[in-house]
Chains A and B, each alone.
Chain A
Amino acid sequence: MGIIFDMRKNFPLIVAKSLVFSLFFLAFYNFLSFSQETDAAINQSFSSDSEVNLYTLTDTLVEADEFSEFRESKNELDKLGSFYNALNDGGQFTFLSIFDQPLPVKDFRGDETYDYGYGTEMSVQGKYFDEDFGAQAQNVKSIQMNKNAFEFYKIRTEGGQEIPWKEIDYSGSEVPILLGSNYANLYRVGDVIQGNFYFKTLNLRVAGFLEPGSSIFYKNEINHYLDSYILIPYPDTLRGITDEEQFFQGILSFAMINGDLVARKDLSSAQLIEDLQAISRDTGFYDYTLIDVPTYLVQMSLTKSIIEDNYTLLLSIILAMGIGVICVTFFINRGILVRRWEGGLVYWLLGRSREEIMREFLWYSTIEYALAFLIFWLAFVALPNKNEFILMNSLFFMLMFLGAIYCTKDMCWVNI
Chain B
Amino acid sequence: MIRLEDVDKVVVEPNGLRRDLFRSLNFSLSPAHSSVAILGRSGSGKSTLLKILAGLDTRYQGKYFFEGEPLLKNGATMARYRRENIGIVTQSYHLLSDRNVVQNVLLGFSGKKSIARAKECLALVQLEKFEKKSITQLSGGEAQRVAIARALVKNPRVILADEPTGALDEETENHILSVFSRLESEGHTLIVTTHNERVAGWCQSRLMLSDKKLVPQE
Q: Do chains A and B touch in the complex (CB under 8 A)?
A: yes
Contact indicator B88/A349 (Cβ below 8 Å): yes
One of B54, B79, B84, B108 near A353 (C-beta < 8 A): B79
Interface residues in B, total, Cβ within 8 A:
23
Partner of B82, one of A8, A345, A351, A355: A351
Residues on B with C-beta less than 8 A from A64 are none
Nearest residue, chain B, Cβ from A9? B98
* B94 & A349 in contact (Cβ 8 Å cutoff): yes
Which residues of B (51-88) have their CB < 8 Å from a CB of A? 54, 56, 75-76, 79-84, 86, 88
Interface residues of A in 323-375 (CB under 8 A from B): 342-343, 345-356
Nearest-neighbor residue (CB-CB) of B113 within chain A: A1
CB–CB A351/B98 < 8 A: no
Question: Are A351 and B99 interface neighbours, CB within 8 A?
Answer: no
In the complex, A261 Cα to B95 Cα: how many Å?
85
Q: Is the CB of A346 within 8 A of B75?
A: no
CB distance from B57 to the nearest CB of A (A): 12
**Contacts A5-B98, A8-B98, A343-B96: A349 and B80 contacting too (C-beta < 8 A)?**
no
Contacts A346-B107, A348-B56; A353 near B98 (Cβ below 8 A): no
Q: How far is the CB of B129 from chain A (nearest CB, A)?
A: 23
Set of chain B residues within 8 Å of A346, measured between Cβ atoms? 94-96, 107
In the complex, which residues of chain A have a beta carbon less than 8 angstroms from the beta carbon of B99?
A: 5
Q: Which of A343, A349, A351, A354 is close to B110, meaning CB atoms less than 8 Å apart?
A: A351
- Quick check: A350 and B108 within 8 Å, CB to CB? yes
* Contact indicator A351/B83 (Cβ below 8 Å): yes
Assuming the contacts A5-B98, A8-B98, asked whether A351 and B84 have C-beta atoms less than 8 A apart, the reply is: yes
Contact of B76 among A9, A342, A349, A353 (CB under 8 A): A353
Interface contact A354-B56, CB-CB below 8 Å: no
B90 at the interface (CB under 8 A from A): yes
Tell whether A353 pairs with B75 under 8 Å between CB atoms, given A342-B96, A343-B96.
yes
Residues of B close to A354: CB separation below 8 A? 75-76, 79
Distance in angstroms between the alpha carbons of A110 and B99 in the assembled complex? 67
A349 to B50 Cα, complex, angstroms? 12
Given contacts A8-B98, A342-B97, A352-B79, 19 further A-B contacts (CB under 8 A): A5-B96, A5-B98, A5-B99, A342-B96, A343-B96, A346-B94, A346-B95, A348-B56, A349-B54, A349-B88, A350-B83, A350-B88, A351-B81, A351-B86, A351-B110, A352-B110, A353-B76, A353-B79, A354-B75
**Which A residues have a C-beta under 8 Å from some C-beta of B?**
5, 8-9, 342-343, 345-356
Query: Could you list some 12 contacts between A and B, CB below 8 A?
Result: A9-B98, A346-B94, A346-B107, A349-B56, A349-B90, A350-B110, A351-B80, A351-B81, A351-B82, A353-B75, A353-B76, A356-B79
Among all A-B residue pairs, the 10 with the closest Cβ atoms: A351-B83, A353-B79, A351-B82, A9-B98, A353-B76, A346-B94, A354-B75, A349-B88, A351-B79, A353-B75
